[in-house]
Chains A and B, each alone.
Chain A
C-alpha cells in the first residue's frame, strides 16, 4: 500500500501558480477550473435565462388568455341557449294557455254535459 503525504496529495491535484512568488507559510497551489466564463458570457447566459423565463411567462399568459376567450365563448353560448330555452318555455306556455286550449279543434268538438247520474257505492 502506497502512502502519500499531504503535500504529495496536493501536488497530484493542483499546479503551482506560475510567476508568483512563493513565500514561507503561504499556499503554494491554487485550484484552477478547466473552463471559465468571461463577463460577456455571463451576461448573455443571464439574458438567456431571463428570456426563457419571460417566454414561459408569455406562453402561460397567452394560454390563460386563450382559455379566457374560450370561456367567454362558452358563456355566450350558454347564455344564448338559456335565452332560447326561455323563449321556448314562453311559447309552450302560450300554446297551453286556456284561451288557446278553448279555441283548439279538440275543444270545439266537445259537447256540453247534460244530466249527470251518480251511482252510489
Chain B
C-alpha cells in the first residue's frame, strides 16, 4: 500500500515536471517568436513609442538696407509669436476657457467659445500672440489649450519698398520681389533631431541621439537707399494725385554700376498686411512685370546707334516734311505740321518722329529707304547691345518680357515705329538699363538690387557690378547723346527738370496704350514717361518715371506734362541729398 502511494506521488511529480517542461518550451517558443522572428516589428513598435524626429527650423535670413556709414537698417526681420491652439475634445468648460483667454487678449470671448466648442480636434484660437501674452495664457494651464511657436515676418518700414521686398506667405514661402527670388538663400536648410523623447516631448540625451544642425538663411543687404526710396514713393503718390493718373512707377539707378537705389510703384501695399489686399494686381511690380510701349524715351537709344555707326552726327541735317510714308502707313510728328531742315540734336530736343525714321534709313549708308540691312542693324543693336530681347536678370521675381519682333517677322513700318518706342514693348527697367548704358560711356551693367549677402557664420559677400556688354557705343557717341539729352532739358520737353548750374539730361515719351483684346490702341489713353540723369558731367544717377493715364484735361502730353515734373521733383531732391555742387 505504502509502495503504491510512493509510486503515485512519483508519477504525479513526473507529470508536474513534464507540464513545467512543456510550459517552459511554450514560453521559450513564444520568446523566440517575439524576440527573434518578430524582432523588427516589435523593435520598430518600441522605438515609435519614445523615438521621435524633430525638425529644427532654420531662421529665415533678414533683409536690410545700408547707410553710407555702413549701418544696417532692417526692412524684413523675424519675430517669434505664440499661436494658441486647442483640441476641443479635451477642453473642460469652453465658456470659462474662452473667458480666461479673452481676458488676456482683450477680444470677444464668444468667438473663442464657438471655436472651443467646435466638433474638431484642432482649432487655432489666436494666430499670433506676443511672447508676454503667450506666457500669460500658458500660466493659466487650460485643459486642451496649447501654445505653438511660429516665426512671423515683420516689415518695420510698413509699405516702404514693398514691391522690391515682396512678402512671406502663411506657409513661410517668399512671394514676389526679393523674398521670392532669393527664397532658397533666405530660407536656409532645416535641421533634424532624432532620438528618445520624454513624455513632455523633451529630448533625452542618449548615445542614439543624432542631430543635424540647421543652417540659417543668408541675410541680404539691398542696394536700395531707404531715404531715396521714401522720397520717390512720396513723389509718385503726389504725382498720381495731382495728375489723377491710374498708376505710376519710378526707378532710380546708379549708371556707374547698375545698382538700383530706389524702385517704387503706386498704388502700393504693406507686406505686413498682404492678406488685407483686395486686388492682387497691387502685388505686381509694374517696373519689371508690365511691359509697355515707352514712346519717345526710346529715341536716344536708336539715335545712339546712328551716332555710333557713323550714319549721322549731332549736326547732320535732313528735310522734315512732318510726315513720312512707310509701307501703307504715314508716320507723323506729334503736334503741329511744320516742315523744316533739322539737325539730329533738334530731332531729339523736339522729339521728331520723322527724324528717327531718317536715322533708320541712314544706317546702311543710303538714306533713301528702309532696307533689310537697316532693320537688321537696329535689331542687332537693340537685342545684342541693349539686351531688349531678354530680361535684365535683376534679383526680383516676376520679371516679364514684352514684344520684340525680328526683322524677318516685321514690316518696315514696325521697325520705323521702333525707333521712337512704338511697336516694341519693354519694361521700365529694361528701358532704364539700356539708357544707362548709352549715357555712361557704353557699358551695360546688369541692374541689381543686392549690395551684399551675409551667411549664417557672418561671412560677408559683396556683390560686384556685373558688366554684360562693355562696348555698347563708344565714349564719344555716349558724350554726344548725353549732350543731346541735355538739350531736351535746356530747351525741350524736359524743361521741368532744369536746375541752374547742374548738368541734367533727359527725354520725354508719351505713348498710346495697346489694347490687348482688339490689338489696336485704347482711344485717348496714354502712358507718359521720362528718363533723365544728373547732376554732373558724369551722371551719378539716372531715373525713369512712368505715369499711366494722367488726366488729359490737366496735361496735353503725359510724358512732358506728368512724368517730367515727377522726375524733376525727384532729381532736385537727389541733387540736395547727394550734395552735388553747381558748376
Residue among B80, B158, B205 with the highest chain A CB neighbour number at 10 A: B80
- Of B158, B581, B582, which one neighbours A97 at CB under 8 angstroms? B158
CB distance from A109 to the nearest CB of B (A): 19
Comparing B71-79, B115-123, B400-408, B452-460, the segment that makes contact with chain A is: B71-79
A94 contacts B79, C-beta separation under 8 Å: no
Q: A99-B157, A118-B582 are in contact. Are A90 and B79 (CB under 8 A)?
A: yes
B131 contacts A80, C-beta separation under 8 Å: yes
Q: A97-B158, A98-B157, A98-B227 are in contact. Are A86 and B80 (CB under 8 A)?
A: yes
Which partner residue on chain B sits nearest A65 by CB separation? Answer: B204
A96 contacts B73, C-beta separation under 8 Å: yes
Residues from chain A with a CB closer than 8 A to the CB of B157 are 97-99
Interface assignment of B202: CB less than 8 Å from any CB of chain A: yes
CB distance from A103 to the nearest CB of B (A): 12
Complex alpha-carbon distance, A31 and B573, angstroms:
113
Interface assignment of A93: CB less than 8 Å from any CB of chain B: yes
Q: How many interface residues does A have (CB within 8 Å)?
A: 21
Q: How many interface residues does B have (CB within 8 Å)?
A: 24
Complex alpha-carbon distance, A113 and B73, angstroms:
26
Residues from chain A with a CB closer than 8 A to the CB of B160 are 97-99
- Of A64, A71, A84, A90, which one neighbours B156 at CB under 8 angstroms? A90
Near A by CB (< 8 A), chain B positions 198-223 give 202, 204-205
Which partner residue on chain B sits nearest A99 by CB separation? Answer: B158
Interface assignment of A66: CB less than 8 Å from any CB of chain B: no
Q: What are the interface flags for B49-83 relative to A under an 8 Å C-beta threshold, 1 for contact and 0 otherwise?
A: 00000000000000000000000011001111000
A87 contacts B131, C-beta separation under 8 Å: yes
- Of B77, B135, B202, B230, which one neighbours A89 at CB under 8 angstroms? B77
Q: What are the interface flags for B131-145 relative to A under an 8 Å C-beta threshold, 1 for contact and 0 otherwise?
A: 100010000000000
Interface assignment of A68: CB less than 8 Å from any CB of chain B: yes
Near B by CB (< 8 A), chain A positions 81-113 give 82-84, 86-87, 89-90, 93-94, 96-99, 113
CB distance from A14 to the nearest CB of B (A): 46
Complex alpha-carbon distance, A90 and B79, angstroms:
7
Q: What are the interface flags for B74-115 relative to A under an 8 Å C-beta threshold, 1 for contact and 0 otherwise?
A: 100111100000000000000000000000000000000000
CB distance from B54 to the nearest CB of A (A): 13
Interface assignment of A72: CB less than 8 Å from any CB of chain B: yes
Which partner residue on chain B sits nearest A80 by CB separation? Answer: B131
Residues from chain A with a CB closer than 8 A to the CB of B581 are 118
If over half of A's interface residues share one DSSP class (helix, strand or loop), that class is named, otherwise mixed; here it is helix
Interface assignment of B576: CB less than 8 Å from any CB of chain A: yes
Complex alpha-carbon distance, A19 and B404, angstroms:
125
Interface assignment of A9: CB less than 8 Å from any CB of chain B: no
Complex alpha-carbon distance, A86 and B160, angstroms:
21
Complex alpha-carbon distance, A22 and B308, angstroms:
133
Residues from chain B with a CB closer than 8 A to the CB of A87 are 79-80, 130-131
Interface assignment of B546: CB less than 8 Å from any CB of chain A: no
Residues from chain A with a CB closer than 8 A to the CB of B80 are 82-83, 86-87
Complex alpha-carbon distance, A72 and B551, angstroms:
66
B576 contacts A113, C-beta separation under 8 Å: yes
CB distance from B490 to the nearest CB of A (A): 22
Interface assignment of B163: CB less than 8 Å from any CB of chain A: no
Complex alpha-carbon distance, A80 and B134, angstroms:
11
B156 contacts A93, C-beta separation under 8 Å: yes
Interface assignment of A37: CB less than 8 Å from any CB of chain B: no
Q: What are the interface flags for B360-372 relative to A under an 8 Å C-beta threshold, 1 for contact and 0 otherwise?
A: 0000000000000
- Of B130, B156, B204, which one neighbours A94 at CB under 8 angstroms? B156
A97 contacts B78, C-beta separation under 8 Å: no
Interface assignment of A116: CB less than 8 Å from any CB of chain B: yes
Residues from chain B with a CB closer than 8 A to the CB of A89 are 74, 77
CB distance from B383 to the nearest CB of A (A): 40
Interface assignment of B226: CB less than 8 Å from any CB of chain A: yes
Q: What are the interface flags for B299-326 relative to A under an 8 Å C-beta threshold, 1 for contact and 0 otherwise?
A: 0000000000000000000000000000
Interface assignment of B154: CB less than 8 Å from any CB of chain A: yes
Which partner residue on chain B sits nearest A98 by CB separation? Answer: B230
CB distance from A74 to the nearest CB of B (A): 12
Complex alpha-carbon distance, A80 and B154, angstroms:
19
B131 contacts A90, C-beta separation under 8 Å: no
CB distance from A85 to the nearest CB of B (A): 10
Complex alpha-carbon distance, A98 and B158, angstroms:
9
- Of A68, A90, A98, which one neighbours B226 at CB under 8 angstroms? A98
Residues from chain B with a CB closer than 8 A to the CB of A82 are 80
B204 contacts A93, C-beta separation under 8 Å: no
CB distance from A92 to the nearest CB of B (A): 9
Complex alpha-carbon distance, A87 and B131, angstroms:
8
A72 contacts B576, C-beta separation under 8 Å: no
A72 contacts B202, C-beta separation under 8 Å: yes
Q: What are the interface flags for A55-71 relative to B under an 8 Å C-beta threshold, 1 for contact and 0 otherwise?
A: 00000000010001001
Residues from chain B with a CB closer than 8 A to the CB of A93 are 73-74, 77, 154, 156
Q: A87-B130, A96-B73, A98-B230 are in contact. Are A68 and B156 (CB under 8 A)?
A: no
Complex alpha-carbon distance, A83 and B135, angstroms:
12
Residues from chain A with a CB closer than 8 A to the CB of B149 are 83
6 nearest A-B residue pairs (beta carbon): A93-B156, A83-B80, A94-B156, A93-B74, A90-B79, A118-B581
16 other contacts beyond A71-B205, A90-B77, A93-B77, with CB at 8 A cut-off?
A68-B202, A72-B202, A80-B131, A83-B149, A86-B77, A86-B78, A87-B79, A90-B156, A93-B73, A96-B73, A96-B156, A98-B157, A98-B160, A98-B227, A99-B158, A118-B581
19 A-B pairs whose Cβ atoms sit less than 8 Å apart in the complex = A68-B205, A71-B205, A80-B135, A82-B80, A83-B131, A86-B78, A86-B80, A87-B131, A89-B77, A90-B79, A90-B154, A93-B77, A93-B154, A94-B156, A97-B157, A97-B160, A99-B157, A99-B158, A118-B582
